[in-house]
Structure 1
């Protein structure tokens, strides 16, 4: 049985993709952030290009800065964003 995670895009990613979020079906056992990224890139060329344009892409799982090896399970929230700079 599969379930869903919410994927959020922030800053330049959101602008380039043209949407702030999407809902993605994943296996009930979960997937890594890297596998989730591959899945959404394969489903939408605009997302693939936007993520590829960010070589230092950051990720948060459930509002905590994470790695691409982090396990994502149904019900989680995953946010992709470019590195932030101070001003």
Structure 2
């Protein structure tokens, strides 16, 4: 299954790209599993998307949780929490 990735702010800077398309194995069915799959690629992925790092995620432009199900061709975005005033 192909997944379209988008990266914003410090995540984009750490990875050196604003997006990518990846083909994931059949067992990668959730956003959390996708994140783990990307971390397993090694540096810089393992640093930018590390489990302990505070990140927000969106699937098809809707905020989501690690349990959100993936579908072929969906768009998953990773970005740091945003604060404002």
Sort the TM-score into its range (normalised by shorter chain): 0.7 to 0.9
Please name the residue that 1:79 is paired with. Answer: 77
Structure 1 gaps of 5+ residues are none
Tell me if structure 1 keeps the 8 A contact 2:4–2:73.
yes
- CA distance 1:28–1:51, shift in 2 (3 Å): closer
SS of 1:67's partner is coil
Displaced runs of 4+ in structure 1, greater than 6 A?
A: none
Gap regions ≥5 residues in structure 2? none
Root mean square deviation of aligned Cα: 2.0
* Aligned 8 A contact 1:11 1:82 in 2: yes
Instruction: Select the structure that is richer in strand.
Output: 1
TM-score by length of 2: 0.87
Aligned residue pairs total 85
1:58 aligns with 2:56: yes
